[in-house]
Amino acid sequence: MHLHSLYYIVLLIGSFFFLKYLSKQKFFFKHVFLLDKDFKKKQSFHKTPALNIGGIYLYFFLFLSYFFFLENNILYNMIVLSLPVFTFSLLEDFKLKINVFFRFFLLTFILIFTIKISNLKIYSIQFYFLDGLLRDNSFFIFFFLVLCFLFIINGANFIDGFNGLLGFHFSIILIFLIYLSSKINDIQILNLCLILFILNSSFLYFNFPTGKIFYGNSGSYLIGFIISFLIIKINEQTLSYKIFPFFFACLLYYLFFEVFFSFFRKLFFEKKNPFLPDKKHLHMLLYNILKSNPKTGIYINIYYLTTLIPLVFFANKGGFIKTYFFFLIIFYILFYSYLQSKKK
């Protein structure tokens, strides 16, 4: 048996029993502030106490995996670069109250520092005017990358808290990244995506449908960072394989638009602080109809996966992919408007 295949089996079994053990330690975690039993906050839709240990679990096993895949520079860079974001967000899981504005500016500062030392680049987003800026203006590249990370990290954080919503969403994105990395023959990214898929699968057993464990702030921020990092690294190679940048825009449209639409909805339509939480996100409106936490998570991801199926068949059609992205945004707005009308 191939050594990597053996490791994947060991990883699946080891991560499952690791979480099984932790899921029974609620008394201990209650005293280290990782037990979420605040059912009054606006983002809370679960009915029983849940452990916010998904981030610790994910980072711990990624760190262990590095010692097996010593040749995987992508894994090493991701572990190192994600550490500041993971550490900062872990403080919130330990119930440290951080002002929403301070949190935003601190996260932005951390991302600026991380992107600066990592020398991450993006060369094309398939818009002539913006591509010119990306080629000729290093500040614009930097600004654009910071925005990308902020949108995806906050999008992942928005949808954590519903059983299976972030976990299944992460799995769907990983399936597409596994497909792309195999297509471009990037073994390092392929191995990393397989490791993440296995770890996320073990997590889902305890998150869906029971909600015993959540990713928490540390896990959702870490997942948002990982998704952003991997897509930037894959995007560096895919143009030569005729996979266009708007493929990734389509892949991330749900996370992106949850943040983008929420910000402008609050600021311009509701005239209130766009940084404060509310109960008007897409999944929350659907929950008001279904009255079921796990059903909400699975239905949103069925909707998400269904809208992504055309990407498999038209990944190399640049014009179609660009047009389809705007169709997805319009469809999201119509779906949101429909759910909002049902609430009334």
Distance CA 302, CA 131 (A): 33
Region of poorest pLDDT, from 6-20, 83-97, 203-217? 83-97
User: How is residue 120 written in tokens?
Assistant: 């991450």
Q: So what's the pLDDT on residue 143?
A: 85
With a cut of 80, say whether residue 164 has pLDDT above it: yes
Whether residue 90 contacts residue 217, with contact meaning beta carbons closer than 8 Å, is answered with yes
- Across 281-299, average pLDDT: 90
- Coil/strand/helix, residue 50: strand
Confidence label for 104 from pLDDT (cuts 50, 70 and 90): confident
Distance CA 16, CA 9 (A): 11
Region of poorest pLDDT, from 67-71, 124-128, 216-220? 124-128
Whether residue 120 contacts residue 145, with contact meaning beta carbons closer than 8 Å, is answered with yes
- Across 3-14, average pLDDT: 86
Confidence label for 238 from pLDDT (cuts 50, 70 and 90): low
| The model's pTM | 0.91
Distance CA 85, CA 173 (A): 21
User: How is residue 260 written in tokens?
Assistant: 């983008």
Region of poorest pLDDT, from 32-41, 184-193, 225-234? 32-41
Distance CA 147, CA 112 (A): 10
Confidence label for 1 from pLDDT (cuts 50, 70 and 90): very low
State percent of the chain over pLDDT 90. Answer: 40
Whether residue 228 contacts residue 177, with contact meaning beta carbons closer than 8 Å, is answered with no
Residue in 292, 307, 160, 145 with CA at minimum distance from that of residue 222? 160
Distance CA 169, CA 301 (A): 6
Q: Please state, rounded to an integer, the average pLDDT across all residues of the chain.
A: 84
Distance CA 210, CA 297 (A): 12
Region of poorest pLDDT, from 295-299, 308-312, 332-336, 340-344? 340-344
With a cut of 50, say whether residue 39 has pLDDT above it: no
User: How is residue 110 written in tokens?
Assistant: 């951390």
Whether residue 187 contacts residue 194, with contact meaning beta carbons closer than 8 Å, is answered with no
- Coil/strand/helix, residue 224: helix
Phi, psi of 294 (to 5 degrees): -65, -35
Distance CA 80, CA 63 (A): 9
With a cut of 80, say whether residue 131 has pLDDT above it: no
Beta bridge partners of 35: 51
Q: What is the dihedral of CA 224, 230, 233, 235, to 10 degrees?
A: -90
Distance CA 281, CA 259 (A): 9
